[in-house]
Chain A
Amino acid sequence: MSTKKDYAIKVSHVTKKFKIYYDKANTLKERLVFWKSKNKNEERTVLEDINVEIKKGETVALIGTNGSGKSTLLKLMTKIIYPTKGKIITVGKLTSLLELGAGFHDDFTGRENIYFNASIFGLTKSEIDAKVDDIIAFSELEEFIDNPVRTYSSGMYMRLAFSVAINVNAEILLIDEILAVGDQHFQDKCFSKLEELKNSDKTIVIVSHSLESIRKLCDRAIWIKDGHIKMDGEANSVIDSYLEECK
């Protein structure tokens, strides 16, 4: 096979259905007693027949109203959940920032949590050793790094989590609504870090409602509405038509 893969993420004919349980029969007794009335749950189609190809080095925003399915699409790309139908192929090491501080342990120190969190992203000890100083410097938490994270304020917690995730050297970065981290100073810093990553040929997919940042950061936007792709194209024009409809 000599076909060159120039895409980073390829989503083909993906449909995702969720089961909506009104009353989930979780125990064996309930399953036995209610085995006849199985039609208690209904399926909701969140995404239907989605086709997207994201090229290497592209910075793409997913926009849409709440519940339109954009976060679901992002979760499918990370392989946290799997499509009901269709296929998703990703090329290269992938990191997702769906929720900051996933896997943090309150009783461990900031430094230990850096190691633990980075290991969840698939880094080895020597790779983390090489980066730990950068991570600490980026978070600006030098004074507190050897205290347990339960003593951190929520802003400090977020800063540490973001610093770990952003410094994991992934080729694809999936981000869900976390551009608003910390104070203005730290937000600016995150933003310029993202710009730096963008210029270093990383593929970035962002779900966000802060349209102004998207305009600045992204080349392309995909507007998802009710589980379908409503519009896909140059960021400014997609955002303009999205705003037009939201009026």
Chain B
Amino acid sequence: MQLFKNLYNYRELLKSNVKKEIRGKYKGSFLGVLWSFVNPLLQVAVYAIVFPYIMRIQTDNYLIYLIIGIIPWTFFTTVINQGMITVRMNAGIIKKVYFPREILPISVAVSGLINFLISCIIIILFCIFGGVGITWHLVFLPLIAILQFILTLGIVFALSAINIYIKDTEYIVTFLINMLFYATPILYEASLFPEKIRFILHLNPMTQVIVAYRDIFLYHQVPSLMGIVYLVIISIVLFFIGLLIFRKLEKGFAEEV
């Protein structure tokens, strides 16, 4: 509850921080904010060339299949990568002014969410012009996006705080995210994953997220209830664990950072 009270009282700070987060990242570059949309598309272009032609993957609508995987994944990794270092990056003001520290990771996550929702327009454009079309199933999009937001925020709460005390966190997490990328059906279909260890794929909450997005955009079906229930539980649990770790560690920020 303290969290919501703080957020309400400091809503102006949150707002200007989110703006700074969105504008500041690509400051000075020629395309500016556009890079946050061009980047994932370029990544999609690479995979769209490599996989069908070299690896001979034969998934229908592979380009759209990829885009629906890559864009939410970019949302996830951008927030983790930026959120992890946000407390350290703001060391200057942390040492000098009091404000609710949780504003920092939350700003990163909110700016990621806004970026993602804008990117969804790109997905929709590809669906329309790629011949897949769109249906009423889009109403599930906000639900899944919010769940992904809560999940990611929980992780970022924990990582941003731990990273102050153990600098290696950054490098370990970069590696883990790389692993996770291949343990999520982004480039391939879940059925291609070896059956013996496929449970790993399904335990990964990001699998549920991506699968749900594909149901919404590509297959035009209601996302599986089991998947959503699993996602709700794991997001909320991770969120509270993350917040707890953050609360425990934030008192030392000004001294340790």
Contacts and interface: CB of A to CB of B under 8 A. Distances in A.
Interface string B226-257: 00000000000000000000000001101100
Given A98-B97, A119-B16, A29 B92 contact: no
B100 to A, nearest CB: 9
A78 B98 contact: yes
Interface string A93-133: 01010110011010100000001101111111100100000
B96 A80 contact: yes
Given A31-B166, A82-B251, A103-B92, A119 B13 contact: yes
B168 A120 contact: no
Contacts, number: 69
Contacts of A119: 10, 12-13, 15-16
Contacts of A137: none
Interface residues of A, number: 32
A121 B97 contact: yes
Interface in B87-113: 92-99
A98 B98 CA distance: 10
A118 B94 CA distance: 15
B198 interface: no
A85 to B, nearest CB: 13
Contacts of B99: 120-122
A180 interface: no
Interface string A26-48: 11110100000000000000000
A79 interface: yes
A102 B255 contact: no
B196 interface: no
B92 A102 contact: yes
Contacts of B10: 119, 122
A80 B254 contact: yes
Nearest to A94: B98
What 7 pairs between A and B have smallest CB-CB spacing? Answer: A102-B96, A119-B12, A28-B168, A119-B13, A103-B93, A82-B251, A99-B96
Given A98-B97, A119-B15, 4 more contacts: A107-B27, A120-B13, A122-B9, A125-B15
Contact of A125 (B12, B95, B96, B252): B12
Nearest to B13: A119
11 contacts: A28-B172, A79-B98, A80-B95, A81-B254, A82-B251, A82-B252, A102-B92, A102-B93, A120-B97, A120-B99, A122-B13
A118 B168 CA distance: 35
Contacts of B95: 80
A98 B252 CA distance: 18
Contacts of A81: 251, 254-255
Interface string A64-108: 000000000001001111100000000000101011001101010
Interface in B7-32: 9-13, 15-16, 20, 27
A113 to B, nearest CB: 10
A27 B92 contact: no
A124 B11 contact: yes
A40 B27 CA distance: 43
B167 interface: yes
Given A78-B98, A122-B9, A124-B12, A27 B167 contact: yes
Interface in B54-93: 92-93
B16 A18 contact: no
Contacts of A115: 12, 16
Nearest to A176: B96
A27 B9 contact: no
Of residues A18, A81, A105, A115, which shows the largest number of chain B Cβ atoms within 10 Å of its Cβ? A81
Contacts of B13: 119-120, 122
Contact of A80 (B9, B20, B97): B97
A28 B251 contact: no
